[in-house]
């Protein structure tokens, strides 16, 4: 079997070699080059690595540029806020100084005094457009309702007006910059930006209140700033013509913007550009941060912050194209560098793989092709120290081994020819290694196994011949014995019928016993239920006795407390003298009553304790009785179950006896049939004897090793095996033969 398996493996190996991608001349049939295989593996990995590095570099550069832009924008906003803050602070201080001056000299200053010092006051601050002093009605002069001296720039010179007109029917006492400072604890308050119809400019006013000696509000000092200068500061934040910068008041109205039509007229939250309107709502809510909006297909990035002095918000926007132009240029540069580097590395990889891998593999393909064509004298020379060199060495060792295999195959072929001619007396001369060592062992095993098997077959033929004669005599004896068995079976069948009738009567008796046992079990169940009720009643009595004992303990405590109270009453009566004598008598009676109550309680406790003890004893006895009844019920149930089992067994026995009757009838028929078969076996055994002689003649045609010669069969070379033939254990004995 091992030899056949080895030949089968060799066949499939040769078939696989014929179906391999290499033909007999070492040519290529649809094989891809190793260098392209390696390149297809490494190049994507390298490209992914390059892309990842480019992305990381791009992302890092973007963050750096973004941080720099943020810093530049924050710095620009800080500079603008500082300028606006300084301008507003100076103007606010002018209003505060003017209010303090008026408040300190309100009783002594006349209109001429205001005419002289107000222009001088406002000329000290070049950023102040003008200002005024606005008295409450009749606060400056009882004869004059309104007094409002005012100064403002005209033609580059500060001009004084003794009565600044706001227009017909408009009074300064109704203006926001006036009403906002009434009853305030602040030194100055800024108004919302507004357009002055008289001066024809946009301005914002800082208002500072002043009071009389009694602390009564009597007027407001104001200082106005021309918003044109602030707007110029905001517009200067724009670095590129595409930039946008604007200044919003606390409600979102534009104070400064590229579009002059929006100034003090438009609100950012009401912009037609919904993106910008949403940004405006965010700006008014957060006061400081960054955001963005879209306009005319351009995306803008916006930075905004609040001016602490006035609460206004300064914002600057720049297009993302302008902001990230450096990042875009960097991305193009990185893409170009990665492409060039990838092509360069690919070229180096192709050159190295071609020289170090593909060329040696081509040489190896040529060598293996010649070996596949049967040329085992091929010369294999190399200087490689890598895995390909190891493959060359393996191929070289394979050629040496194939030389040995050719010799093995020639010797095995000769042995197989001898076996086909019936010659089993052969010897293998070569030293076999590898898989062929198993082939040699298989051939040796075939020689020994066939020789042993043929000798055993010859011995068995002799034994079969002798056994056939014995079988013939035994068959005659079996025929006569079968006739006697048939008569005996008739008598046995009659006895079984009597046993069947008795088993039927036993089943009826068991049914009566089952009914009586069931009635007794029902009575036990009823008694057990009554006993459970009695046990529960005893438990209830025991529980009630415990509660009575608890109540008695309470009464005893009451008697003790009553005695204590009586003693306290007696003590108090003694302290009261004659007035407490009557109370002392009552206390003595109460104490006596408490003593009697205590004695009665003790006697009651003793009786209850005795009752509890007796009740507990009765409860234990009841529990024991209930347990006995439960045991009786359990045993009765067990008896009932056993009787039911006996009834079932009796029914099954009756059925089994009927089956035995049927079986005996069948056995009787079989015995008669055996008698006929025994006569036929006698004739068959004579035929077997003749066939055994023919088998011996065929076995003698084989030439075996000397220890298995057919002519020596009569000497019983395996007497232990021959002796097993008669007792039917020949197969077991033959299976113990040595295995190779």
pLDDT of residue 734: 37
Q: Is the pLDDT of residue 210 over 80?
A: yes
**DSSP calls for 6-35:** HHHHHHHHHHHHHTSSB-TT--BSSPPPHH
Residues of the chain with CATH 3.30.450.20: 71-323
Q: For residue 703, what are its two tokens?
A: 């030439």
Residues of the chain with CATH 1.10.287.950: 437-699
Confidence tier at 304 by pLDDT (50, 70, 90): very high
Of residues 534 and 719, the one with the higher pLDDT is: 534
Which of 225-229, 364-368, 430-434, 539-543 shows the highest mean pLDDT? 225-229
pLDDT of residue 209: 94
- Tell me the average pLDDT across 500-529: 74
The rounded distance, in Å, linking the Cα atoms of 362 and 35 is 12
24-56 residue pLDDT tens: 444 444 555 666 667 677 777 777 877 777 777
Q: Is the pLDDT of residue 278 over 90?
A: yes
**Which among 384, 253, 374, 243 is positioned nearest to 321, based on CA atoms?**
243
pLDDT of residue 739: 39
> Which residues are bridge partners to 319 per DSSP?
300
pLDDT of residue 384: 67
Q: Is the entire prediction scored with pTM above 0.85?
A: no
Q: Where is average pLDDT lowest: 15-24, 46-55, 134-143? A: 15-24
Q: Is the pLDDT of residue 84 over 80?
A: yes
pLDDT of residue 633: 72
Q: Is the pLDDT of residue 725 over 60?
A: no
The rounded distance, in Å, linking the Cα atoms of 248 and 264 is 9
Residues 6+ apart with CB under 8 A from 6: 435, 436, 438, 439, 442
**Which among 465, 503, 522 is positioned nearest to 686, based on CA atoms?**
465
242-271 residue pLDDT tens: 788 889 988 899 988 888 888 888 999 998
pLDDT of residue 486: 67
pLDDT of residue 523: 74
Helix axis angle, 227-235 to 34-105, nearest 10°? 170
Share of the chain above pLDDT 90, in %: 6
Q: Is the pLDDT of residue 526 over 50?
A: yes
The rounded distance, in Å, linking the Cα atoms of 585 and 595 is 15
Which of 307-316, 373-382, 405-414 shows the highest mean pLDDT? 307-316
Which of 262-266, 378-382, 612-616 shows the highest mean pLDDT? 262-266
- Is domain 71-323 in CATH 3.40.50.720, yes or no? no
Q: Is the pLDDT of residue 222 over 80?
A: yes
> What's the chain's average pLDDT?
75
Q: Is the pLDDT of residue 207 over 90?
A: yes
The pair phi, psi for residue 253, each rounded to 5°, is: -75, 140
The pair phi, psi for residue 52, each rounded to 5°, is: -65, -45
Max CA pair span of the chain: 173
Residues 6+ apart with CB under 8 A from 557: none
Confidence tier at 22 by pLDDT (50, 70, 90): very low
Q: Is the pLDDT of residue 421 over 90?
A: no
**Which among 191, 195, 117, 188 is positioned nearest to 158, based on CA atoms?**
117
pLDDT of residue 454: 73
Fold classified for 437-699: Helix Hairpins (1.10.287)
- Listing from the earlier edge strand, what are the strands of the sheet with 254-256? 254-256, 244-248, 313-319, 298-306, 289-295
Q: For residue 563, what are its two tokens?
A: 């005695």
- Tell me the average pLDDT across 505-532: 75
pLDDT of residue 31: 56
């Amino acid at each position: 079997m091992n030899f056949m398996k080895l030949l089968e493996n060799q066949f499939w190996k040769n078939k696989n070699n014929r179906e391999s991608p290499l033909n007999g001349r070492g040519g290529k049939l649809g094989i891809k080059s190793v260098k392209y295989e390696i390149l297809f593996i490494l190049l994507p990995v390298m490209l992914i690595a390059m892309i990842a590095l480019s992305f990381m570099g791009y992302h890092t550069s973007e963050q750096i540029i973004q941080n720099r832009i943020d810093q530049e924008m924050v710095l620009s906003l800080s500079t603008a806020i500082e300028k606006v803050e300084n301008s507003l602070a100076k103007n606010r201080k002018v209003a505060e100084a003017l209010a303090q001056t008026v408040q300190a000299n309100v009783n002594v200053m006349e209109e001429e005094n205001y005419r002289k010092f107000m222009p001088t006051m406002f000329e000290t601050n070049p950023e102040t457009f003008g200002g005024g002093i606005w008295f409450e009605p009749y606060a400056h002069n009882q004869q004059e309702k309104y007094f409002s001296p005012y100064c403002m720039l005209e033609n580059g010179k500060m001009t004084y007006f003794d009565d600044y007109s706001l227009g017909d029917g408009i009074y300064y006492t109704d203006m926001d910059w006036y009403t906002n400072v009434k009853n305030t604890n602040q030194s100055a308050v800024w108004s919302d930006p507004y357009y002055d119809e008289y001066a024809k400019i946009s301005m914002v006013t800082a208002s500072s209140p002043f009071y009389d000696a009694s602390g009564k509000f009597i007027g407001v000092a104001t200082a106005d700033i021309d918003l044109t200068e602030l707007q110029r500061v905001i517009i200067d934040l724009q670095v590129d013509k595409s930039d946008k910068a604007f200044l919003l008041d606390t409600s979102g109205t534009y104070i400064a913007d590229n579009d002059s039509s929006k100034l003090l007229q438009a609100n950012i939250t009401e912009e037609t550009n919904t993106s910008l309107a949403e940004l405006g709502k965010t700006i008014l809510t957060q006061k400081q941060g960054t955001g963005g909006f879209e306009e005319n297909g351009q995306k803008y990035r916006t930075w905004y912050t609040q001016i602490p002095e006035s609460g206004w918000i300064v914002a600057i926007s720049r297009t993302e194209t302008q902001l990230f132009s450096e990042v875009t240029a960097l991305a193009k540069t990185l893409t170009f560098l990665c492409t060039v580097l990838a092509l360069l590395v690919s070229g180096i990889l192709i050159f190295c793989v071609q020289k170090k891998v593909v060329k040696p593999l081509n040489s190896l393909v040529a060598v293996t092709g010649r070996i596949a064509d049967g040329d085992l004298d091929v010369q294999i020379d190399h200087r490689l120290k890598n895995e390909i060199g190891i493959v060359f060495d393996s191929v070289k060792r394979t050629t040496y081994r194939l030389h040995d295999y050719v010799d093995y195959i020639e010797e095995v072929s000769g042995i197989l020819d001898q076996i086909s001619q019936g010659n089993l007396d052969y010897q293998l001369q070569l030293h076999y290694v590898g898989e062929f060592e198993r082939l040699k062992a298989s051939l040796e095993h075939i020689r020994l196994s066939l020789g042993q098997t043929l000798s055993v077959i010859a011995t068995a033929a002799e034994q079969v011949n002798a056994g056939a004669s014995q079988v013939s005599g035994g068959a005659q004896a079996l025929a006569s014995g079968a006739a006697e068995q048939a008569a005996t079976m008739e008598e046995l069948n009659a006895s079984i019928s009597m046993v069947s009738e008795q088993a039927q009567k036993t089943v009826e008796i068991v049914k009566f016993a089952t009914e009586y046992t069931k009635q007794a079990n029902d009575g036990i169940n009823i008694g057990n239920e009554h006993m459970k009720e009695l046990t529960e009643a005893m438990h209830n009595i025991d529980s009630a006795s415990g509660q009575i004992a608890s109540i008695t303990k309470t009464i005893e405590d009451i008697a003790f407390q009553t005695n204590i109270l009586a003693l306290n009453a007696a003590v108090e009566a003694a302290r009261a003298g004659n007035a407490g004598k009557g109370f002392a008598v009552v206390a003595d009676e109460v104490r006596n009553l408490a003593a009697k109550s205590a004695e009665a309680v003790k006697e009651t406790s003793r009786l209850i304790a005795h009752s509890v003890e007796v009740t507990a004893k009765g409860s234990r006895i009841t529990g024991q009785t209930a347990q006995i009844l439960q045991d009786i019920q359990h045993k009765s149930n067990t008896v009932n179950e056993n009787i039911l089992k006996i009834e079932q067994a009796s029914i099954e026995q009756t059925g089994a006896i009927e089956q035995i009757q049927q079986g005996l009838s069948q056995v009787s028929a079989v015995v008669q049939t055996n008698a006929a078969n025994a006569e036929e076996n006698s004739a068959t055994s004579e035929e077997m004897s003749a066939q055994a002689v023919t088998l011996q003649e065929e076995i003698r045609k084989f030439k075996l090793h000397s220890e298995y010669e057919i002519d020596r069969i009569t000497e019983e070379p395996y007497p232990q095996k021959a002796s097993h033939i008669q007792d039917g254990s020949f197969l077991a004995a033959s299976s113990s033969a040595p295995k190779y």
